[in-house]
Amino acid sequence: MPRNTTTKAASKRSSGTAQKSDETMLKELFLDELKDIYWAEKHLTKALPKMSKASTSQELSNAFQNHLTQTEGHIGRIEQVFELLDTPARAKKCDAMEGLVKEAQSLLEELPKGTMVRDAGLIIAAQKVEHYEIAAYGSLVQLAKTMGENEVADILAQTLDEEKQTDQLLTELAVSGINLGAEEEPEE
Ligand SMILES: [Fe+2]
Ligand SMILES: [Fe+2]
């Protein structure tokens, strides 16, 4: 019967001696997500120079270059957070970021060099990356607040803002001409 099942499950939960508190589990979840984004940011420092080099327009190339500098700052902030939480800074492979970067690479293989279509493709790939980061940092900021770690929340909120600004800049670059240029290009 459903009622019995619930009671059994509840007593099983409370009887475990090595039972972790919700607080501990929340901190573990937070650290796990922090390790994920730490890996992702480090991975991006290798991808962004390639994206900058692959860009056709100088504006897009500069945007990637500037975001590389910001990304190095994001890594520094994550290390600051690890320190505040008395935990060694460790990265944990982020399959999602690995996949997003792979997608960007295959786009570059498909799209001809020196075209605005290539830039349009790069912007799409980069915005997917930014949206992943926005989701990750948005969640981390919320979790930190729930944990009462307001300093940590403030530090990560700065990065969240920069990711949002970058996403916005990429939209502006697309709207301001790259997509239009791509449409006007003669088909092969
Ligand atoms: Fe970042
Ligand atoms: Fe980013």
pLDDT given for residue 92 in this prediction = 98
Å from CA of 119 to ligand 1 middle: 20
| CATH H-level, domain 23-183: superfamily | Ferritin, core subunit, four-helix bundle (1.20.1260.10)
pLDDT given for residue 8 in this prediction = 46
pLDDT given for residue 179 in this prediction = 67
Å from CA of 52 to ligand 2 middle: 14
Å from CA of 83 to ligand 1 middle: 19
Å from CA of 124 to ligand 1 middle: 16
Å from CA of 153 to ligand 1 middle: 15
- The low-confidence residues of the chain, meaning pLDDT below 70, are 1-18, 178-182, 185-188
Å from CA of 166 to ligand 2 middle: 7
Site of tokens 């498909």 = 110
Å from CA of 150 to ligand 1 middle: 20
Please tell me what DSSP assigns to residue 56: S
pLDDT given for residue 186 in this prediction = 65
pLDDT tens for each residue of 58-79: 999 999 999 999 999 999 999 9
Å from CA of 15 to ligand 2 middle: 45
Q: What are the residue boundaries of the structural domains of the chain, listed by start? A: 23-183
| Closest-approaching ligand to the CA atom of 37 | 1
Tell me the C-alpha to C-alpha distance, in Å, between residue 103 and each of 14, 164, 185: 46, 21, 23
For the chain, how many residues are written?
Answer: 188
- 185: left (phi > 0), else alpha (psi -120 to 50), else beta? beta
What is the dihedral angle through the alpha carbons of 50, 53, 58, 64, rounded to the nearest 10 degrees? 20
